[in-house]
Structure 1
Amino acid sequence: MTNSNTAAAMSDTTSQMSGEPIWRILTGFGIFALGVFLCGAVGYYDPQDPSLNAATGNDVSNLFGMTGAVVADLANQILGWGGMLGAFLVFAAGLKRMLLIGKPSASNWGLGFLSVLAASTCLASWPIPNSWVLATSLGGMTGDFLFGLARLPFAALRVPYPDVVAGVAAAILSFFLLTRAANLENRDLTRLSRLFFRNVGKLLALLLLPLGPVGRWISRNMVAGVEKLKSSVSGLVGGLFNRERDDYPYVRGAITPDADDDYGYFDYSKSQREAEQAEAPREADTKPETKAQPEAPRTQRRQRRETPKAPRVNKAGLPSLDLLVTPPARTGTVDEHLLLERAEHLMRILNEFGVKGRITQVRPGPVVTLFELEPAPGVKSSRVIALADDVARSMSAISARIAVVPGKNAIGIELPNKSRETVYLRTLLESPSFNDGKQNLPMALGEDIGGEPVCADLAKMPHLLIAGTTGSGKSVGINAMILSLMYKLPPEKCRFIMVDPKMLELSIYEGIPHLLSPVVIDPKKAVTALKWAVREMESRYEMMSKAGVRNLAGFNEKVEELKRTGGRLTKEVQTGFEADTGRPVYETEEIPLEQVPNIVIVIDEMADLMMVAGKEIEACIQRLAQMARAAGIHLITATQRPSVDVITGTIKANFPTRISYMVSSKIDSRTILNEQGAEQLLGMGDLLYMASGGKIKRLHGPFVSDEEVGQIVEFLKSTGEPDYQTDITEEPDEDPFGGGGGGGSPVMDAMLGGNEEADLLQQAIQIVVRDKRASTSYVQRRLKIGYNRAASLIEQMEDMGVISAPNHAGKREILRKAPGEED
Structure 2
Amino acid sequence: MNFFKKQKAKGQLMQAFKSGKLHLTYKNGKTEYFIMPKIHAVIEKRSKMVYVFSIPTGLDPKEIHKKKWVFQQQFGPRVDVLQENKKFTLIVYDGAYQEAFQWSYDDIAPVVYDYKLPIICGKDKNGEWMSYDMVKHPHLLIAGETGSGKSTQVRSILTTLIKTLSPDDLHMYLADMKRSEFHLFRRVEHVEKVCTKPSELMVILQKLKREAQKRGDLLDENEVMHVDDLPRKLPYVLLCIDEVALLKKDKEIMNIVEEVSSIGRALGIFLILSMQRPDAKVLDGKLKINLTVRMGFRCADDYNSRIVGTPGSEDILASEAGRMIMKLEQLQEVQAPFLEDDKAKKVLERYKVERKEEKESIREETNKNQIFGVLDE
Class of the TM-score when normalised by the shorter of the 2 chains: 0.7 to 0.9
CA RMSD of aligned residues (A): 3.9
Q: Given the alignment of the two structures, is residue 397 of structure 1 paired with residue 77 of structure 2, yes or no?
A: no
The residue that corresponds to 1:685 in the other structure is 322
Match of 2:273 among 634, 637, 642: 637
User: Are the aligned partners of 1:515 and 1:722 in contact in 2 as well (CA < 8 Å)?
Assistant: no
Offset of 1:454 from its aligned partner?
Answer: 0.9
- Secondary structure of the residue aligned to 2:225 is coil
Cα distance in 1, alignment partners of residues 260 and 124 from structure 2: 31
- Residues of 1 paired with 2:138 and 2:290: CA distance? 10
Question: Which residues of structure 2 form unaligned runs of 5+?
Answer: 1-15, 27-35, 55-63, 72-78, 83-90
Offset at residue 386 of structure 1 (A) = 9.3
Q: Partner of 1:459 in structure 2?
A: 135
Give the deviation of 1:491 after TM superposition.
0.3
How far 1:546 moved relative to its partner?
1.9
Checking the alignment, whether the CA contact within 8 Å between 2:108 and 2:120 is kept in structure 1 is no
Contact 1:467–1:642, Cα closer than 8 Å, also in 2: yes
Report the residue type matching 2:22 in the other structure: G
Instruction: Using structure 1 for the length normalisation, give the TM-score.
Output: 0.36
| 2:204 is the counterpart of 1:529 | yes
Answer yes or no: is 1:648 the counterpart of 2:323. Answer: no
- Name the amino acid aligned to 1:485: L
Change (3 A) 1:447 1:530: same
SS in 2 for 1:730: helix
**2:179 counterpart letter in structure 1:** M
1:703 matched to which residue of 2? Answer: 338
In 2, distance between residues paired with 1:609 and 1:729?
A: 22
Q: Deviations over 1:234-273 (max 9, x none)?
A: xxxxxxxxxxxxxxxxxxxxxxxxxxxxxxxxxxxxxxxx
> Matched residue of 1:621: which SS?
helix
- Out of 660, 663, 678, the position equivalent to 2:296 is 660
Q: Which residue of 1 aligns with 2:218?
A: 543
| Other-structure match for 1:715 | 350
C-alpha displacement at 1:514, in angstroms? Answer: 0.6
Q: Larger % of helix: which? A: 1
Aligned amino acid, residue 134 of structure 2: L
Partner Cα separation in structure 2 for residue 494 and residue 545 of structure 1: 23
Retained in 1: the 8 A contact 2:239–2:271?
yes
Give the letter aligned to residue 316 of structure 2. Q
Match in the other structure for 2:258: 622
SS in 1 for 2:211: helix
Provide, for residues 658-699 of structure 1, a one-character-per-residue CA deviation record: whole Å limited to 9, x for no partner. 1110011111011111634434345411011101x3x10100
The partner residue of 1:501 within 177, 184, 188 is 177
Q: How many residues align?
A: 324
Q: Which has the higher strand share?
A: 2
The aligned amino acid for 2:103 is: L
| SS of corresponding position for 2:192 | coil
- Pair 14,678 (structure 1): closer, same or farther in 2 beyond 3 Å: closer
Structure 1 position 381, deviation (Å)? 5.4
Q: Which amino acid aligns with 2:189?
A: P
Identical counterparts, % of pairs: 23
Question: Residues 426 and 674 of structure 1: is their aligned pair in 2 closer, same or farther, counting only changes over 3 Å?
Answer: closer
Higher relative contact order (CA 8 A, sep 6+): 2
Task: Structure 1: state its 5+ residue gaps.
Answer: 1-12, 24-347, 356-379, 400-411, 560-594, 746-823
Paired AA for residue 658 in structure 1? R
Q: For each residue in 1:375-418, what CA deviation from the matched residue of structure 2 results, as whole angstroms up to 9, or x when unmatched?
A: xxxxx958x9894676999867167xxxxxxxxxxxx952798x
Q: Which aligned pairs between 1:685-764 and structure 2 lie closer than 5 A?
A: 685-691=322-328, 693=329, 695-717=330-352, 726=361, 730=365, 743-745=375-377
Of residues 517, 520, 542, the one that matches 2:195 is 520
SS of the residue 2:158 aligns to? helix
State the secondary structure of the residue aligned to 2:272: strand
Q: 1:17 to 1:628 in 2, by over 3 A?
A: same
Larger Rg: 1
Normalised by the size of structure 2, how large is the TM-score? 0.74
Residue 165 of structure 2, aligned match among 485, 489, 493: 489
Change (3 A) 1:522 1:21: same
| Aligned amino acid, residue 281 of structure 2 | D
Specify whether residues 624 and 497 from structure 1 end up closer, same or farther in structure 2 by C-alpha distance, changes over 3 A only: same
- Whether the 8 Å contact between 1:464 and 1:635 is mirrored in structure 2 is yes
Deviations 1:267-325 (A, max 9, x none): xxxxxxxxxxxxxxxxxxxxxxxxxxxxxxxxxxxxxxxxxxxxxxxxxxxxxxxxxxx
Q: Which amino acid aligns with 2:301?
A: S
Instruction: Check whether the contact 2:175–2:241 (CA below 8 A) recurs between aligned residues.
Output: yes
Letter of the 2:236 partner, please give it: N
For residue 308 of structure 2, give the secondary structure of its aligned residue in structure 1.
helix
The whole-number CA distance in structure 2 between the counterparts of 1:597 and 1:442 is 14
- The Cα offsets for residues 17-72 of structure 1, whole Å up to 9 and x where unpaired, read as 2237989xxxxxxxxxxxxxxxxxxxxxxxxxxxxxxxxxxxxxxxxxxxxxxxxx
Q: Quote the residue 1:477 is aligned against.
A: 153
What pairs up with 1:114-193 in 2 under 5 angstroms? none
Q: CA deviation at 1:433?
A: 2.7
| Distance change (3 Å), C-alpha of 1:538 and 1:733 | farther
How far 1:535 sits from its partner (Å)?
A: 1.9
The alignment partner of 1:456 has SS state of strand
SS at structure 2 position matched to 1:642: coil
Contact 1:469 1:640 in 2 (8 A): yes
Deviation at 1:15, TM superposition (A): 8.8
For residues 495 and 523 of structure 1, what CA distance do their matches in structure 2 show?
20
Q: Of residues 219, 226, 240 in structure 2, which corresponds to 1:602?
A: 240
Deviation at 1:424, TM superposition (A): 2.2
How far residue 492 of structure 1 moved from its aligned partner, in angstroms, is 0.3
Q: 1:553 to 1:511 in 2, by over 3 A?
A: same
Q: Measure how far apart 1:715 and its partner are.
A: 1.0
**Match for residue 100 of structure 2?**
422
Q: Deviations over 1:125-159 (max 9, x none)?
A: xxxxxxxxxxxxxxxxxxxxxxxxxxxxxxxxxxx
8 Å contact kept, 1:467–1:640: yes
Q: Which residue identity lines up with residue 422 of structure 1 in the other structure?
A: A
Aligned 8 A contact 1:667 1:676 in 2: no
Q: Does 1:443 pair with 2:119?
A: yes
1:63-109 Cα distance to aligned partner (Å, 9 max, x none): xxxxxxxxxxxxxxxxxxxxxxxxxxxxxxxxxxxxxxxxxxxxxxx
Q: Could you tell me how far 1:441 is from its partner in structure 2? A: 0.6
Q: Is the 8 A contact 2:159 2:348 kept in 1?
A: no
Matched residue of 1:513: which SS?
coil
The whole-number CA distance in structure 2 between the counterparts of 1:728 and 1:457 is 34
* TM-aligned CA distance change 1:397 to 1:674, over 3 Å: closer
Change (3 A) 1:18 1:474: same
Inter-partner Cα distance in structure 2 for 1:673 and 1:598: 27
